[in-house]
Amino acid sequence: MRQNKKFGDKARKRKLDIVSGKLRREIIKRKYAEAALNKIEKRYSLAVRAGKTAVWEIWPGKKKLFADANLKSLLGYEENEITDNIEDWLQLLPDDLNKTEEALQKICDRPANQFSIEHRAVHKDGTMSWFRSSGKVLRDINTQAIHIIGASTDISDQRRADEAVRESERCYRYFVENSNIGITKIDRDYNIIMVNPSVARMFDKPASEFVGKKCFQEFRKQDAVCKHCPETRAMTSGRPEEVETKSIRDYGSHFYVKNRAVPIFSKNGRAEGFAEFMEDITEFKRNENSLRESEAEFRLLVKELATSLREKEVILREIHHRVKNNLQIVISLLRSQSRQLKDRKMLEVFQESQNRIKAMSLIHETLFLSSDLSYVDFSSYIKKLAETLFEAFGINRYQIFLVINAEDISLVMEDAIPMGLVINELLTNALKYAFPDDRPGKIRIDMAAINEDQIELSVSDNGVGLPPDMDFKNTETLGLTLISGLVEIQLDGTLELIRDRGTKCTIRFRQEKRKE
């Protein structure tokens, strides 16, 4: 008996050990399963939150809605701020309440078991959010809805993006339809897909009549692709191409357009068509042609004027040449007449007259040799006049030293002749009277522009000077009287005489502003 009992206890122990092992293994498996399930739940929860999605259940008969915490969080509420009463949830849908109630009723009544609707819900801060709610209906044996399980996703960002796209499309459509530029969409086979109203106005026909036709047939009235087609070039280059061309309407009239073809690429980078922009440049072309014709006429007129001017220059140059020659003849006559005179004073009068005429003759000679017949290079003229007078009086240059400091100034002939005569008189007086008894000395001539239109000329010497009681403006001497009259009357200038260790005569006058 004892032996049997001993064997029985051992058998039961083995069975217990086996069962205990199985239980331990089952517990371990369950723990692993629970850990894996928790991991999956965490991932699911993270995915739901990241996707702004929440899960909920509705029990129609109990009028209860059980939602996870994420749905309340999406609407800005804490876990305990909204109850499970379905009416409380419906209050969050004020703008879409009727729409949502009708949708729920239809879900319960219709035979379909799946649904999806979009609706708005009020956030706790008062803003409106958009949701897409979808789910599955569980029915009893009588097809009555007893349980609805679903998920709601916050699609506010998507709705805003969709609205932005729609707004962009509205702006694009407004731009295309109201632009003064003709806009055409063309596929890669040159078929017209769309034209805007500007193209229709340009060609004077309804926009619908362009669609499906070849662009070169409609716009150019050709049977083949245009030789300089910007679309073909854009297809090859992959960048916008532009050309100016002539377009023809159905009834034959033509107009000029600037065409710019911009390739439209597919997702794989292949040019699948073009947007062509047409600008009517008929008026511009007309103006361009008129301008070209006017330019041609202007060039012809300039050529004719240049020819006429050259002819007048030749005539004027010839006049100056003849005046100079005539004055030389007068000088020669005076020289011949003076040879017959015995009176020394009369000889001096004749000599001074010759010098005065020579001064005027030099003006005409300078103009004759000048490239500009309107102005006299006066600094050069002064040097020539001084050389002439020194030669006429037989002056030794080593005895009377001449200094000329004259800026490059040009004078019109109306100023040059009286100024030449003034210099002639002043230099003559200095050569005749400043250095008696072969006395050595120096004569200086200075000329400069002291501002934009005023000239200052001075002739000075270090000779004996004029008598202190002499009034040069009221003298009976012809030379001094001539100087005063030329400066004050013809040049409308001023005359200043300084008697200090010689004589210095300064003249100031306004010159005519030179035309460039």
The span from the CA of 423 to the CA of 379, in Å, is 12
pLDDT given at position 108: 73
Q: Domain 374-516, what architecture?
A: 2-Layer Sandwich (3.30)
Identify the burial level of 436 via C-beta atoms within 10 angstroms of its C-beta, where 0-12 means exposed, 13-18 middle and 19 or more buried. Answer: exposed
Asked if 51-161 and 179-280 have one fold, the answer is yes
Q: Where are the domains positioned within the chain?
A: 51-161, 179-280, 282-370, 374-516
* CA torsion angle 371 375 378 379 (round to 10): -50
Helix or strand (DSSP H, E) at 120: strand 114-122
Element (H, E) at 322: helix 282-338
- Specify the pLDDT at position 47: 45
Q: Running DSSP on this structure, what letter comes out for residue 432?
A: I
> In this predicted structure, what is the pLDDT of residue 326?
63
Which residues are 364's β-sheet partners?
A: none
Question: 179-280 sits in which CATH class?
Answer: alpha beta
Backbone angles phi, psi at 209, to 5 degrees: -75, -10
Exposed / middle / buried, residue 489 (Cβ in 10 Å: 0-12, 13-18, 19+): exposed
DSSP 208: G
Q: Which residues are registered as beta bridge partners of 448?
A: 456
Q: Contact at 8 Å (CB) between 421 and 359?
A: yes
CB neighbourhood size of 275 (10 A):
19
What separation, in Å, do the N-terminal and C-terminal C-alpha atoms of the chain show? 151
pTM (whole model) above 0.75: no
Q: What pLDDT is recorded for position 234?
A: 84
CATH no. for 51-161: 3.30.450.20
Tokens of 502: 């010689």
What pairing do the DSSP bridges indicate for beta strands 128-139 and 114-122?
A: antiparallel
Per-residue pLDDT of the chain (516 residues; tens, 9 = 90+): 555 555 566 666 676 767 677 677 767 766 665 565 555 445 445 444 555 788 888 877 777 777 777 888 888 888 788 777 777 777 777 777 777 777 777 777 777 677 788 888 888 888 888 888 888 888 877 777 778 888 888 888 888 888 888 888 888 888 888 888 889 999 989 999 999 999 999 999 998 999 999 988 888 888 888 877 888 888 788 888 888 888 888 888 889 999 898 988 888 888 888 889 998 988 888 888 888 888 888 888 888 777 766 655 555 555 555 566 666 666 676 666 777 667 777 777 776 777 777 766 776 666 556 666 677 788 888 888 888 888 877 888 888 999 999 998 888 878 887 888 888 888 888 888 888 888 899 999 999 998 878 899 999 999 887 766 565 555 555 567 778 888 888 888 998 888 878 889 999 998 865 444
Length of the chain equals 516
In this predicted structure, what is the pLDDT of residue 148?
83
Quick one: residue 139, left, alpha or beta (phi over 0 = left, psi -120 to 50 = alpha)? beta
